Amino acid sequence: MAKTGKKNMLKVKSSLGRKLLPIDLPPNLETELEKLLKECEQKLRSFNENLVTKAFYATYLAHQNHIRISGEAAYFHNIAVAKAVLKEIHLDDVSVAVALLFDLPSRGEGFSVHEITKEFGSVIGGIVGKLYKIKNLEARRTISVAHLENFRKLLVSLTSDVRIILVKLAIRLHNMRTLDYLPIEKQKEISHETMEIYVPFASRFGLGDVKWLLEDLSFKYINRVAYDDIKNRIKSRRKERERYVKNFEKPVLRKLGNDFFIKSNNIGFELSGRVKHIYSIFNKMIARGKPLEELYDLIAIRIILDSPDPISCFYTYGLIASVYKPVPETFKDYISAPKKNGYRSLHFAVVGPQNKPVEVQVRTREMHLISEEGIAAHINYKRGFLPAESVFDEIHVRTWMDSIKSLFSNREQMDDKQIMNTLKKNLFLEEIHVFTPENELRTMPRDSTALDFAFEIHSALGTHCIGAKVNGRSVPLSYRIQSGDQIDIMSSPKQCPEPDWLNIAITPKAKSNINKYLKSLRTQKKDQGEALWIENAERENLKIKDTDFASMCKAFGYKSKRLFFIDLADGKISSSKAIDFLKYKLDFTGTTNTSNSDSTENKSIIISGHNSKEVMGNIISSVATLDDLLILSVNYEPIGNHFEAKINFTKDDNYSFGLLAKRLYRLEGVSSVRKLV
């Protein structure tokens, strides 16, 4: 490509565009632009050179006077993100332009989302706008709450354009690669967030290499000592591993090269060996309680077949098994039962040279492309928006997305930590494969229960399930299903979801349906309680102001009248107690016609509430200091943490039960006051 005339290519529409035309790039940036355009040419089937060039000029214009903490010019961050979008996320030219533009709105006037939209169109402007909102959220992060809200915004963005999340992954990847320049606490905070949010997304979208990179980079800052130790020990044994891989490969290459079926069908093949990534090795050491030197399955051999037929993978497994003895119970068939991100391959271990176990993966070239590019392998390169539905063709992925969205819309029964745990379990692709009674294969997250399986089959079956039979044996709803289980759900029309089901279920679909039912049940309770309240208020001839009602709810610890009505319907609070509060605690009279005197000479009151050392003395003091009353007897009976007291007294004509009740209700611990004739 020529290094001149690029400015003449730029067609501008906005004030931002007009600023671009007179710019001369520094020589080093002119070279960077050439490299980026060349990579676009190599990586993309087609691309808009003018679009990428114009975005490159814009990022230089916006960032030319800004420096990152590392001391590097700010625009190099955008260029690095654009390269990651191409080489590691495998996206299109629209995404490359977005990577170059994503943080321009932070540079103020002239670089707003509005200006970017005018110059680059609504698709790019929309993606940049969403990314800018997420960036602002992260800047105001308060750890767990921000993590959850960030999760929510990223998930919601799937419906508008899936590239929002994918470009965000590229941004996070480069941020993690330059994290050394931040304070230690900030490094750990960002690394934990990366583990909780971005690693699961990379996994869900089939970006295995990006997932491993993010895991290792996060682990580096979360546990630097362990990271450095494993890295150094792996490095010291590199030559030994390389020799071992060559020794392993020789008989396999000979077997495949001489096989009649492989040769007659012109099936090409490629073998490669690699050491597992650092975080994976650390987890193996912890899980097995062994040092690195005693872990022998640290090498994975990958065989890629140039064949469109998946049967060739199984045939190749047979050939390898004739060279090296398979390790029992290590065979995993992700071809017949793909992972939920579309990943397909055969995994198994064999006993290699020196009697050491070696993991082997066998896949076709097409399967390998999907494992490398993940979601991007499904992207149709077009100029419009790319909602997730246009990329994810698999029905189970769309079901997962719908269940995640539903989880956020029905979250009253779960706190932020519970939601985060549910999301992480269902983003990480630790899966099991089970069967219906008709032998239909179903893929579920690891640790799923029989209750989760019931909702996976159908929401109505989950709603009314009472138990299950697993391999012919009766089990409770809380049973953790295992790979290979055949599960038959038992149900009853009388059964309905209960609150403790939320502690049993782990899948978003199950939790969402349970929450939806409990929410409808609470609505029914609320309506019942409200009707009961209106009935009692009308009987007392009360007309209650909203402000007085709100004060009453607050005094009894209710954040809303809805929660008050629900407890009223459940009998957890009595309407008479609430009405008494309105009458005496707030001096509320409404339209009732009550007399302040009572002709009876002797009178009794019953007082109840929370038991404490001071409460009885305070009660006696309040009654005794009223000039109109004379105490005749007191009976105080503690009942656990509560008490009930009966006071007999005489009175004169000026006596007011309302005044006495008002005094008593003001005392700490008193919850009920009633009079006896």
Tens of pLDDT along 28-82? Answer: 999 999 999 999 998 888 889 999 999 999 999 889 888 988 888 999 999 999 9
If you classify domain 6-222 with CATH, what class do you get? mainly alpha
Pairing label, strands 357-364, 299-306: parallel
Average the pLDDT over 182-202 and give the result. 87
Task: Indicate if the pLDDT at residue 599 is higher than 80.
Answer: no
pLDDT (0 to 100) of residue 35: 94
Task: Indicate if the pLDDT at residue 3 is higher than 50.
Answer: no
Question: Where do the domains of the chain lie?
Answer: 6-222, 234-376, 396-502, 518-585, 602-676
Task: Indicate if the pLDDT at residue 363 is higher than 90.
Answer: yes
Task: Indicate if the pLDDT at residue 590 is higher than 60.
Answer: no
Task: Indicate if the pLDDT at residue 471 is higher than 80.
Answer: yes
Which of the 8 DSSP states describes residue 557? Answer: T
CATH (residue range 602-676): 3.30.70.260
Average the pLDDT over 181-187 and give the result. 90
Q: Which tens digit of pLDDT belongs to each residue from 557-576?
A: 788 888 888 888 888 887 77
CATH topology agreement for domains 234-376 and 396-502:
no
Is residue 294 exposed (0-12), middle (13-18) or buried (19+ Cβ within 10 Å)? exposed
Q: Alpha-carbon Rg of the chain, whole angstroms?
A: 35
CATH classification of 396-502 is 3.10.20.30, yes or no?
Answer: yes
Q: Which tens digit of pLDDT belongs to each residue from 513-551?
A: 888 888 888 888 888 888 888 888 888 777 777 777 887
d(CA 97, CA 53): 8
pLDDT (0 to 100) of residue 44: 85
d(CA 112, CA 608): 64
pLDDT (0 to 100) of residue 513: 87
What kind and span of H or E run contains 606? Answer: strand 602-610
pLDDT (0 to 100) of residue 591: 40
Are 105 and 60 in contact by the 8 Å Cβ rule? The answer is no
Is pLDDT larger for residue 595 or for residue 362? 362
pLDDT (0 to 100) of residue 656: 67
pLDDT (0 to 100) of residue 641: 79
pLDDT (0 to 100) of residue 593: 36
Is pLDDT larger for residue 492 or for residue 656? 492
pLDDT (0 to 100) of residue 108: 77
- Name the percent of the chain lying above pLDDT 70: 79
Are 615 and 667 in contact by the 8 Å Cβ rule? The answer is yes
What kind and span of H or E run contains 361? Answer: strand 357-364
d(CA 502, CA 500): 5
Average the pLDDT over 599-615 and give the result. 75
Is pLDDT larger for residue 638 or for residue 37? 37
440 alpha-carbon distance from chain centroid: 29
How many beta carbons lie within 10 A of that of residue 533, not counting itself? 20
Q: Which tokens is 29 given?
A: 């940036």
- pLDDT confidence tier of residue 592, bands split at 50, 70 and 90: very low
pLDDT (0 to 100) of residue 69: 85
Q: Which tens digit of pLDDT belongs to each residue from 297-309?
A: 678 899 999 998 9
pLDDT (0 to 100) of residue 524: 87
Q: What value does the mean pLDDT of the chain take?
A: 80
Q: Which three-class secondary structure state does DSSP give residue 339?
A: coil
CA nearest 423: which of 502, 501, 507? 507
Is pLDDT larger for residue 600 or for residue 635? 635
Task: Indicate if the pLDDT at residue 635 is higher than 70.
Answer: yes
Are 64 and 347 in contact by the 8 Å Cβ rule? The answer is no
CA nearest 443: which of 432, 429, 459? 432
Average the pLDDT over 412-440 and give the result. 65
Are 627 and 659 in contact by the 8 Å Cβ rule? The answer is no
Q: Domain 234-376 in CATH: superfamily?
A: Beta Polymerase, domain 2 (3.30.460.10)
Average the pLDDT over 598-603 and give the result. 56
Number of H helices, E strands in the chain: 30, 15
Task: Indicate if the pLDDT at residue 143 is higher than 60.
Answer: no
pLDDT (0 to 100) of residue 322: 92
Is pLDDT larger for residue 110 or for residue 2? 110
